[in-house]
Amino acid sequence: MTTTDMPRKADAGPGRSVSKKRPRGASSGGLRRAVPATTLLWILACLYGLPVLWFILSSFKPAGDLFSYPLTLVPHHPTLSGYLTAWRSANFSQYFINTTLVCVITTILTVGASCCTGYALAKYDNKWLKAFFICILATTMLPGEVMLAPEFLVVRNLGLYNSFAGIILPAVLTATGCFMFRQFFLTVPDELVEAARIDGARELSIFLRIMVPLSRPIMLTLAILSFQWRWNDYIWPLLMLNDPNKFTVQIGIQSIVGAQNINWSVLLGASVISMIPLIVIFLVFQRYVMGADINAGLKD
Amino acid sequence: MTKRAADVSVSPPRRRRSTYTLAPLVLIAANVVLFALFFVWPAVIGLVYSFTNYTGVGAFQFVGMDNYHNLFGDSAFYDALTRTLLYTVLFVPLNFALSLLIANVLVSKHAKGASVARVVFFIPWLLSPIVVGVLWRWLFGENFGLVNYVVEKFGGSAVPWQSNADLSLVVVVVAASWAWTGFSMLLFIAAIKNVPVSYYEAASLDGAGPWRQFISITLPSIAPTSFIVILLNTINAMKEYPLFVSLNNGGPGTSNNLLVQYIYQTGFQRGQIGYASAASFVLMLILMAVAIIQLVVNRRVENR
267-286 in chain A: CB under 8 A from chain B: 267-268, 271, 274-275, 278-279, 282-283, 286
* Helix count and strand count (H, E) for chain B: 16, 0
| Each residue's pLDDT tens digit, B219-248 | 999 988 898 899 889 988 998 999 999 998
Residue B275's identity, in one-letter code, is Y
User: Whole-angstrom Cα distance, residue B53 to residue A29?
Assistant: 72
In a 13 Å sphere around the CA of B117, the CA atoms on its Cβ side amount to 23
Q: Which residue of chain B has the CA closest to A139?
A: B39
Are A178 and B31 in contact (CB < 8 Å)? yes
Mean pLDDT (chain A) is: 83
- Helices A30-58 & B129-139 angle (0-180, nearest 10): 90
**Chain A hits for B117, Cβ within 8 Å:** 41-42, 44-45
Distance of CA B269 to the CA centre of its chain: 25
- Give the distance from residue A60's alpha carbon to the nearest chain B alpha carbon, in angstroms: 14
75-134 in chain A: CB under 8 A from chain B: 112-114, 116-117, 119-121, 123-126, 129, 132
Q: For Cα atoms A196, A197, A202, give the angle at the middle one, nearest 5 degrees.
A: 100
| Each residue's pLDDT tens digit, A38-84 | 999 999 999 999 999 999 998 898 877 777 776 777 777 788 888 88
User: Whole-angstrom Cα distance, residue A137 to residue A121?
Assistant: 12
For residue B13, is pLDDT > 80?
no
Pick from A99-103, B12-16, B88-92: least confident: B12-16
Are B124 and A52 in contact (CB < 8 Å)? yes
Alpha-carbon torsion (B67, B71, B76, B81), positive or negative: positive
| Each residue's pLDDT tens digit, B149-188 | 888 888 888 888 888 989 999 999 999 999 999 999 999 9
Instruction: Answer yes or no: are the C-beta atoms of A143 and B239 closer than 8 Å.
Output: yes
With a CB cutoff of 8 Å and minimum separation 6, the contacts of A27 are none
With a CB cutoff of 8 Å and minimum separation 6, the contacts of B54 are B60, B273, B274, B277
* DSSP designation for A189: -
Q: Print burial letters for A146-175: b (CB count within 10 Å at least 16), e (below 16).
A: bbbbbbbbbbeebebbebbebbbbbbbbbb
Are B210 and A119 in contact (CB < 8 Å)? no
Nearest to B272 by CA among B33, B70, B23, B38: B70
CA separation, residue A175 to residues A140, A226, B162, B277 (Å): 6, 12, 37, 24
User: Whole-angstrom Cα distance, residue B270 to residue B95?
Assistant: 35
Indicate the pLDDT class of residue B90, thresholds 50, 70 and 90.
Answer: very high
Instruction: Answer yes or no: are the C-beta atoms of A71 and B151 closer than 8 Å.
Output: no
In a 13 Å sphere around the CA of B52, the CA atoms on its Cβ side amount to 18
For residue A13, is pLDDT > 80?
no
Residue B183's identity, in one-letter code, is F
Average pLDDT over residues B68-78: 89
**B111 close to A (CB below 8 A):** yes
User: Whole-angstrom Cα distance, residue B79 to residue B76?
Assistant: 5
Are A129 and B24 in contact (CB < 8 Å)? yes
Instruction: Answer yes or no: are the C-beta atoms of A82 and A100 closer than 8 Å.
Output: no
User: Whole-angstrom Cα distance, residue B107 to residue B189?
Assistant: 7
- Give the distance from residue B44's alpha carbon to the nearest chain A alpha carbon, in angstroms: 9
Instruction: Answer yes or no: are the C-beta atoms of B280 and B169 closer than 8 Å.
Output: no
| Each residue's pLDDT tens digit, A119-148 | 999 999 888 999 999 899 888 777 777 888
Nearest to A69 by CA among B141, B89, B182: B141
Which parts of chain A fold into alpha helices (H)? 6-10, 14-18, 23-27, 30-58, 81-88, 92-123, 127-141, 148-157, 164-168, 175-187, 190-198, 203-206, 212-214, 216-232, 235-240, 249-257, 264-284, 286-290
pLDDT value of position B84: 94
Indicate the pLDDT class of residue A273, thresholds 50, 70 and 90.
Answer: very high
pLDDT value of position A111: 97
pLDDT value of position B304: 62
Are B276 and A38 in contact (CB < 8 Å)? no
ipTM score assigned to the predicted complex = 0.85
pTM of the model: 0.85
Q: Which tops the pLDDT comparison, A146 or B121? A: B121
**B113 close to A (CB below 8 A):** yes
Alpha-carbon torsion (A264, A266, A270, A273), positive or negative: positive
For residue B273, is pLDDT > 80?
yes
With a CB cutoff of 8 Å and minimum separation 6, the contacts of B44 are none
For residue B3, is pLDDT > 70?
no
DSSP string over A79-147: --HHHHHHHHGGGHHHHHHHHHHHHHHHHHHHHHHHHHHHHHHHH---HHHHHHHHHHHHHHHS-GGGG
pLDDT value of position A292: 57
Are A173 and B193 in contact (CB < 8 Å)? no
Are B31 and A239 in contact (CB < 8 Å)? no
Instruction: Answer yes or no: are the C-beta atoms of A62 and A44 closer than 8 Å.
Output: no
Are A34 and B112 in contact (CB < 8 Å)? yes
Cis before B129 (ω within 30): no
pLDDT value of position B83: 93
User: Whole-angstrom Cα distance, residue B203 to residue B216?
Assistant: 9
Instruction: Answer yes or no: are the C-beta atoms of A86 and A272 closer than 8 Å.
Output: no
With a CB cutoff of 8 Å and minimum separation 6, the contacts of B1 are A123, A124, A125, A190
Mutate to test the interface with B, among A4, A35, A41, A181 (most CBs of B within 10 A): A41
Indicate the pLDDT class of residue A276, thresholds 50, 70 and 90.
Answer: very high
User: Whole-angstrom Cα distance, residue A253 to residue A274?
Assistant: 9
Helix (H) or strand (E) holding B151: helix B146-153
CA separation, residue A1 to residues A163, A296, B296 (Å): 37, 6, 15
Average pLDDT over residues B207-226: 89
